[in-house]
Amino acid sequence: MISLRHAWRAPLLFIAALAIISCSRKPSDRVQGYVEGEFVYISSPLPGTLETLHVQRGAQVKAGDPLFALENVTEKTARDEAERRLAQARANFEDARQGKRPTEIASIEAQLQQAHAALALSEREYARQDELTRTGAASKQEFDRVRSARDQDRQKVAQLEAELKTSKLGSRNEQVTAAEAEMHARESALVRAEWDLSEKRQLAPQAGMVFDTLYREGEWVPAGRPIVALLPPQNIKVRAFVPETRVGSIHPGQQVSVTLDGVADPFVGKVSYISPQAEYTPPVIYSQESRGKLVFMIEAVFEPQVAAKLHPGQPVDLQF
């Protein structure tokens, strides 16, 4: 027989047990999730030896900060050669647009003056021989020779006048067009060479934390192989899987409270994505019992200053 002195203890113990169980249970509106980071992998499209690594793991960088540099002897040489070829093409284009040099024009003018003087002498000799031939004092052969010399001097004057006019003009339109096209081609080659040179040195595209460095100085890096993994704070998010019975009450933009172990105050974010496809779906027609196994992935994002306090892989609790 139970003693009346101890009979009151049983209800108290039952109430205490219920209180402990109720305290140990998590609120029904919470789901478990984890922190996920989407990394930005920085690489160079060109291969080369890693010459300088400006950052280390865990460092915070700002947009535009140098990350690494590959050896660039080949690219620098190609850039210098492209600059020299462009200078040559520009000189050829300017030369094609202009006429002959002043000294060349002066030489043609001097030759033309000589031709005019020779023509004047030939004209006087022709007139004298013509008069002598009419009086019978000169032979017909001498008159023909003088006339031929006069005609040659006339043709020489006409030739030099045409050359002088041409020398004051530029090259033909086709030659100028070809020289201009060559110049533009050299300009494009220089732009490509400068781009190749710049790609050997990479800067941070945005602010964030250096999550990892994948090569060390002195190592050969193939083209396109990531060297630095950058984690911008805006790329940190929380993922959780919500049961099918609750996903209908959640919508993008909805506020969510995230609790981390060891942190007293929760972080506040908002739902940014709800997967349209269920996961862990049984391979049979849905029944009333199997529908409870369906879950949908959701993602929540935070302000950058809040996201910087989260670390990929951390388990969290979400409350909507």
Query: Is the pLDDT score of 78 beyond 70?
Result: yes
- In CATH, the number for domain 84-193 is 1.10.287.470
Those residues with Cβ within 8 angstroms of residue 300's Cβ, 6 or more apart along the chain or in another chain: 237, 238, 239, 240, 256, 258, 269, 270, 271, 272, 318
Question: Averaged over 184-191, what is the pLDDT?
Answer: 94
In whole angstroms, give the CA distance from residue 197 to residue 83. 13
At the top level of CATH, which class does the domain 41-71+200-230 belong to? mainly beta
Domain ranges of the chain: 27-38+233-319, 41-71+200-230, 84-193
Mind listing the pLDDT tens digit for each residue in 220-273? 999 999 999 999 999 999 999 888 888 888 999 999 999 988 888 899 999 999
* pTM score of the predicted model: 0.63
3-class SS shares of the chain: helix, strand, coil, % to 5: 45, 25, 30
Provide the β-strand partners of residue 53.
68
One-letter amino acid for residue 85 of the chain:
R
* CATH classification for the domain delimited by 27-38+233-319, as one of 3.40.50.970, 3.30.420.40, 4.10.520.10, 2.40.30.170: 2.40.30.170
Mind listing the pLDDT tens digit for each residue in 117-166? 888 888 888 888 887 777 777 777 887 788 888 888 888 888 888 777 76
